[in-house]
Amino acid sequence: MLKLQGLDHLVLRVVDLDALTRFYVDVLGCAVERRQDEIGLVQLRAGRSLIDLVPVDGKLGRMGGVAPGPEGRNMDHFCLRVEPFDAAAVRAHLAAHGVDAGAVESRYGAEGEGPSIYLADPEGNVVELKGPPGPVAPA
């Protein structure tokens, strides 16, 4: 039996690498950990995990076929754990960056029921920001 520890990384195929890098660094607080421009890969640190950005017109990206768009995505969403999770502060931060986010709601995740909010990155990938288990405080 495998004993899984958590999310290691996920890979997003992207059209505008610069816009997506700015979003994940400036808005969500990731850090660029490594670039491999020769194969078309930017790796962003998100806590213990990585978010890999692969341009669809790069060496790796071309292997995935047509670019994702409104008619279809490569995934439904991914979830980033946030702590502390101050709903009002999260919403204010996102709004300051021009990001329209959904309502803060209680949702079940890896650690149990707790507050979460959905938003979309500049290419329409859905991101869930999830707080620790517990009641949802008003935003």
What is the end-to-end Cα distance of the chain in Å, rounded? 41
Dihedral of alpha carbons 100, 103, 107, 110, sign = positive
* Helix (H) / strand (E) containing 44: strand 41-46
Per-residue pLDDT of 29-75, as tens digits, reads 999 999 999 888 999 999 989 999 999 888 877 777 777 777 767 77
- Nearest Cα to 131, choosing from 16, 97, 117? 117
Cα dist. 70→17, 30, 83, 92, 125 in Å?
18, 25, 31, 27, 10
Residue whose token pair is 């979460």:
116
Cα dist. 25→43, 45, 53, 72 in Å?
11, 9, 12, 25
Tell me whether the omega of the peptide bond preceding residue 133 falls within 30 degrees of 0, making it cis. Answer: no
Confidence at residue 45, expressed as pLDDT on a 0 to 100 scale: 96
For residue 119, the cross-strand partners are 127
Confidence at residue 71, expressed as pLDDT on a 0 to 100 scale: 72
Per-residue pLDDT of 87-126, as tens digits, reads 999 999 999 999 999 999 999 888 889 999 999 999 888 9
